[in-house]
Amino acid sequence: MANLLLVEDDTTFSKLLSNFLGKHGHQVQVCSSIREAREALGSGEKQVSYDVLMLDYRLPDGNSIDFLKSLRSEGNRTAAFIMTSFHDVRTAVTAMQIGAFDYITKPVNPEELLMVLREALNKGDVTVTAMPRSRANVKSEKPTLDFIEGRSKISKQLYEYVRLVSPTDMSVIIQGESGTGKEHVAKSIHRLSKRSSGPFVAIDCGSLSKELAASELFGHKKGAFTGALQDKIGQFEAADGGTLFLDEIGNLGYDVQIKLLRALQERIIVPIGSTQPVRVDVRLIAATNEDLMTSAAKGDFREDLYHRLNEFKIEVPPLRKRGEDLEIFIQYFVDKANQELERNVRELSREVMDVFRKYDWPGNLRELNNVIKRLVLLSKEEVATLSALPAEMITAMEDPQKPAGSDLKAIQESHEKEMIEKVLQEVRYNKSKAAKLLNIDRKTLYYKIEKYHIE
């Protein structure tokens, strides 16, 4: 039996859901707003712990992504998943970056809900999936080989770079949208490196609170701060002789960035509260889904650290640009889901394949994996048909405006480009004036002019 916190403002739906989950032996605390959820979670000594948080995306007093973000920054690591209507899927994708375990689309399919819940319970809280993903790795984890490279030109180039940089000791930045497989690429680099018999330690910087980040990375001495009840080894030391993978590195605070730079330059770290430097031999791989150059230009990320990390950069392409790979990945995920869920789906109907080819997969491989898992779970026959896809996905495909209108990033960028061009014309290409009017610094403006090929 699990202890669940359900935050959902649709009372009919939350009643249905809690009855259903109750029948499956779970205890459900229902709240209809963020304020109520905060009360239910308690604080300090009165903190109540839950096994899983189930959050509706839109709530009367805010959205659950911001809510989860603030919970994570307060150190709450309870496994969480978000329930959202199809139109919010992109937002849900960002939720995964901040440590939501998964998302499911509404209307919620009961079998799918139980599957996601089971997986969340198996993984436990995100201390087990994020940082401790590293702790489990401390003893030289052999990265799993359960991945495929793909055959498209862009994938071939990706793995050519991987093979090129692996044997060196260069720091690497892996850049790519959420769910494209950056961690997989990092593991491949480790596996092909001279350090492969050493540990591969992965840390999700997005789920580290500001207060705990330094201690997680560099360790601390007993009594260094309230709550430091004993000495703790940081992940840098845990990765000694191997590879340290920092996912979502852009989320590290400025102070930690300074310490990180020192660790990279001098190959020593100093645990919090200690005066004793510790020598470490670690190769660093960092992943990001934002452009660190822009963050550096904006002053959010230290430029010196950026250059130190950027000895080699690898771009992991979004799924929509991987062409023929889509089919290979579909087959791979169908086989995997058949095995996991004890199903026997041999193929996807032509209509399903059509939808898959037209869809632009904002959540990339992770989203494809999730959609296929659901499809396989709901398909009792050998051929999976449209009926097992979320209805909203099909509607979106039938809407001719959809492909052009759904890529939020593309829309944003095109607006940004238009605005920059307009302002530049207005000030007769005086870049200082333009930067002032656009409320960005000159460096960022130059960067964007280059990025958008503005003449």
Distance separating alpha carbons of residues 376 and 363, to the nearest angstrom: 19
Give residue 99's region: left, alpha or beta (phi > 0; psi -120 to 50): left
Nearer to ligand ATP, 36 or 183 (CB): 183
For residue 160, the minimal CB distance to ligand ATP (Å) is: 15
Least separation in angstroms between residue 361's CB and ligand ATP is 11
C-alpha closest to that of 100 among 130, 122, 75: 130
In the complex, least distance from residue 183 CB atom to ligand ATP, rounded to whole angstroms:
3
Closest contact distance (angstroms) between CB of 97 and ligand ATP is: 5
Closest distance to ligand ATP from the beta carbon of 92 (Å): 12
CB of 105 to ligand ATP, least distance (A): 18
Q: Cβ-closest residue to ligand ATP?
A: 181
Nearest CA among 377, 308, 380 for reference residue 114: 377
Which residue type, as a one-letter code, is found at position 448? K
Q: Is 3 within 8 Å of 50 (Cβ atoms)?
A: yes
- DSSP secondary structure, 411-451, as one string: HHHHHHHHHHHHHHHHTTT-HHHHHHHHTS-HHHHHHHHHH
User: In terms of residues, how long is the chain?
Assistant: 455
Minimum distance from residue 197 beta carbon to ligand ATP (Å): 22
In the complex with ligand ATP, the residue whose CB is nearer, 83 or 287, is: 287
Contact 237, 219 (CB under 8 A): yes
Please state the closest distance from residue 267 (CB atom) to ligand ATP, in A: 26
179/198 with CB nearer ligand ATP? 179
- Distance of closest approach, residue 204 Cβ to ligand ATP, in angstroms: 7
The smaller minimum CB distance to ligand ATP, of residues 15 and 142, is found at: 142
In 3D space, the residue among 387, 322, 391, 419 whose CA is nearest the CA of residue 361 turns out to be: 322
Complex with ligand ATP: residue 113 or 162, whichever CB lies closer:
162
Task: Decide whether 18 or 178 has the Cβ nearer to ligand ATP.
Answer: 178
Name which of 366 and 417 has its Cβ closer to ligand ATP.
366
Q: How far is CA 262 from CA 170, 210, 213, 269, 288, in A?
A: 16, 19, 15, 8, 20
Smallest gap from residue 363 Cβ to ligand ATP (A): 9
The owner of tokens 């963050």 is: 295
Q: Specify the pairing of strand 268-269 against strand 278-279.
A: antiparallel
Q: Strand pairing of 58-59 and 102-105? A: unpaired
Contacts of 316 (CB under 8 A, 6+ apart): 158, 174, 175, 176, 180, 181, 182, 185
Binding site for ligand ATP (CB under 6 A): 96-97, 147-148, 176, 178-184, 247, 287, 289, 332, 365-366, 369
205 versus 352: smaller Cβ distance to ligand ATP = 205
Read off φ and ψ for residue 204, nearest 5 degrees.
-90, 100
The residue among 50 and 361 lying less far from ligand ATP, judged by its C-beta, is 361
Cβ proximity to ligand ATP: between 100 and 348 the closer is: 100
- For ligand ATP, the closer of residues 366 and 436 by Cβ is 366
3-state SS of 302-356 is CHHHHHHHCCEEEECCCHHHCCCHHHHHHHHHHHHHHHHHCCCCCEECHHHHHHH
Burial of 266 (0-12, 13-18, 19+ CB in 10 A): exposed
CA distance 409 to 412: 5
Question: CB neighbours (10 Å) of residue 328?
Answer: 16
Nearer to ligand ATP, 157 or 387 (CB): 157
CB of 372 to ligand ATP, least distance (A): 11
Distance of CA 199 to the CA centre of its chain: 22
Nearest-approach distance from CB 333 to ligand ATP, in angstroms: 7
